[in-house]
Amino acid sequence: MAHNVNTPSSRILYAKNGPDITDYSASAVDERFSTRTETKDEPSQQQLGIGIGNVKESSLATKGGKGQKDCVKQIQLWSKFGFASPEKEYECPNINCKARYICSTSYEMLATSHAVIVHHKSKWIWEDVIRNRLDGQIWIYMTRESPIHSRPKWSNDRTNIAFNWSMTFRTASEITIPYGRYFEMAPENFQSGNRNWAAEKTRLIAWMASNCVTSSWPRNTFVKNLQKFLQVDRYGQCGNLKCPRNNAEKCDRLLSSHKFYLALENSECEDYITEKFWNNGLSKNIVPIVYGTTRKDYEKVAPPHSFIHVSDFKNMTDLADYIKYLDQNDTAYNEYFDWKKYGFVEHYNRYQLHSAKDFFCGIAKKLMQVDDPVLRSGKPQLEILDVKNWWKASCHHRKSIWSP
């Protein structure tokens, strides 16, 4: 299916390959929204609304189009975690419509929703949910995990006919929820002067991981082999050093004392670039040594000349030699921070994605485009997301990091 990602050129801040979901400023952070996971048991059939009769006819909040004052696009999250509040309505002046967000597993709400967001961890009786789906209703597949670690609880052949849009970390998703973003500053805000970033570093390489086994490539073995050439401080479950989670400031200082950070993803999947890169690396003023997706994917979203990709080297010896060279050459090392003169990064943890108003108004805008016969010219029917080929097939499994 076709996926388009554009960034409005009129913004003061220019997000590198930002999602095409809104005309509002991506820097509006006054209203962050969070996802919260509940620990309650799954609801009963009665709580789900099963048994009250299948809702067949649409009673959508409004069928209004552009310019209609009563236009409301209702977006329902079908899950037990929500974005800060169970229900909220946002004014979207640029599209003359409102966006109403609801977190609910009610079939009555399903009958009034224009779009339904389904998280990959959701556990429901999907045969009943699908029977109550309305014609023309947009279903959105949501996850921030890699395809390897996000096998849906309902996974079967029906997933290829259930979802119209995707809401993932992939830049080709209709709605992108990245782990971080790079923003270029307006020219008048460019910074001058030079700073010796190496002067503040007392350690060489850091690696922090909690999962030492489960990965699509021999990540732990890679780190052990690198240690034969260079000093690597291993924090967390996969090492003997600790970075206290209950003292974030102390942990940040500890990581920031290193010149390099091993931002090694657990999966080799397209566009899968997590907090290892954005938070543990760039935001801590450390040069990330990356592996996971391709260099091309990193270059699409990362600041220019901000990382070292493992695949650029023929073997471990070449990689280690280059790290030694940078360790002994402050000028070359500092070049990895030149981007800070022209931009900055934001990182989003698992509970913090976007400005809520921007986010839901962006979805409402896309829903209005679906309703508009002019914008839908040549596309008489909603396309179906091919979960198997577009999502699951976006990952690789290499036995050796040096064997692409």
CATH of the domain at 274: 3.40.50.11660
Starting at the edge strand found earlier in the chain, the sheet holding 232-236 runs 232-236, 203-209, 258-264, 287-291, 308-309
Q: What is the 3-state secondary structure (H, E, C) of the chain?
A: CCCCCCCCCCCCCEECCCCCCCCCCCCCCCCECCECCCCCCCCCHHHHCCCCCCCCCCCCCCCCCCCCCCCEEEEEECCCCCECCCEEEEEEHHHCEEEEEEECCCHHHHCCCCEEEEECCCCCCHHHHHHCCCCCCEEEEECCCCHHHCCCCCCCCCHHHHCCEEEECCCCCCEECCCEEEEECCHHHCCCCCCCHHHHCCEEEEEEECCCCCCCCCHHHHHHHHCCCCCEEEEECCCCECCCCCCHHHHHHHHHCEEEEEEECCCEECCCCCHHHHCCCHHHCCEEEEECCCHHHHHHHCCCCCCEEHHHCCCHHHHHHHHHHHHHCHHHHHHHHHHHHCEEEEECCCCCCCEHHHHHHHHHHHHHHHHCCCCCCCCCCCCCCCHHHHHHHHEECCCCCCCC
Answer whether 395's CB lies under 8 Å from 148's CB.
yes
Both structure tokens of 384: 């179906």
> Tokens 């279903």 map to which residue?
139
Query: What does the pLDDT look like over 201-225, one tens digit per residue?
Result: 999 999 998 878 767 888 989 999 9
At position 349, the amino acid (one-letter code) is N
Query: With a cut of 50, which residues of the chain have pLDDT below it?
Result: 1-15, 17-67, 351, 374-380, 403-404
| 87-92 sheet: strands from edge to edge | 87-92, 97-103, 72-77, 115-119, 138-142, 165-168, 175-176
**Which residue in 98, 109, 100 sits closest to 47, CA to CA?**
109
Phi, psi of 341 (to 5 degrees): -75, -20
Instruction: Indicate whether 250 and 306 sit together in one domain.
Output: yes
Q: What is the pLDDT of residue 92?
A: 92
The pLDDT assigned to 16 comes to 52
Side-chain half-sphere exposure of 277, counting CA atoms within 13 A: 29
Read off the pLDDT of residues 159-179 as tens digits, 9 standing for 90 and up.
Answer: 555 788 988 999 889 888 899
Q: Is residue 69 part of a domain?
A: yes
- Cβ–Cβ under 8 Å, residues 100 and 73: yes
Same domain, 149 and 27: yes
Do 153 and 255 fall within a single domain?
no
Task: Based on the fold, state whether residues 146 and 47 are members of the same structural domain.
Answer: yes
Give domain status of residue 4, yes or no. Answer: no
Same domain, 48 and 141: yes
Same domain, 144 and 250: no
Residue 262 in contact with residue 238, Cβ under 8 Å? Answer: no
Indicate whether 78 and 204 sit together in one domain: no
Q: In angstroms, rounded to a whole number, what is the distance separating the alpha carbons of residues 97 and 86? A: 20
- Asked if residue 161 and residue 80 are part of one domain, the reply reads yes
Are 23 and 48 found together in one domain? yes
Q: Does residue 337 sit within a domain?
A: yes
pLDDT score, position 352: 52
Q: How many domains does the chain have?
A: 2
Which of these three, 320, 345, 370, is where a domain ends?
A: 345
| Residue 166 domain-assigned (yes or no) | yes
Residue type at position 124: W
223 shares a domain with 110: no
Range of the domain at 272: 187-345
Q: Is residue 3 part of a domain?
A: no
Does residue 388 sit within a domain?
A: yes
Residue 8: inside a domain, yes or no? no
Q: Is residue 293 assigned to a domain?
A: yes
Say yes or no: 49 and 125 in one domain: yes
Residues 117 and 28 in one domain: yes
| Residue 212 pLDDT | 81
Q: Which two tokens stand for residue 249?
A: 């400031």
